[in-house]
Structure 1
């Protein structure tokens, strides 16, 4: 249920829907949130089945499932 997500998670999902994909660096620039917080939100969105992580390490990017 997306409406129960934290505001930052909803913002990330909106950006991924609009752009098709998103990296951690892009999310930092778009949201001004700390890198650690963004990584935690992205991990939770992957765990909960909203996003899929592609690539490895610094080359990772996220897209809708």
Structure 2
């Protein structure tokens, strides 16, 4: 899956969330809910990023020879 396909899927999902929530809460509250969900996804992605190695291949360089 490419980055473009992932972005389109996320955009479609957020759009459907907005439409579903706006029927019950109105557009103003639906916008807030959608933005909070998007912020949550960004926060989770950022936290998961902390678990990645800082430099690619660092583990190989630190092995004793």
TM-score higher than 0.5:
no
Higher RCO (C-alpha under 8 Å, 6+ residues apart): 1
Normalised by the length of structure 2, the TM-score is 0.30
**Would you tell me which structure has more helix in proportion to its own residues?**
2
Report the structure number with the largest CA radius of gyration.
Answer: 2
Give me the TM-score of the superposition, normalised by structure 1: 0.30
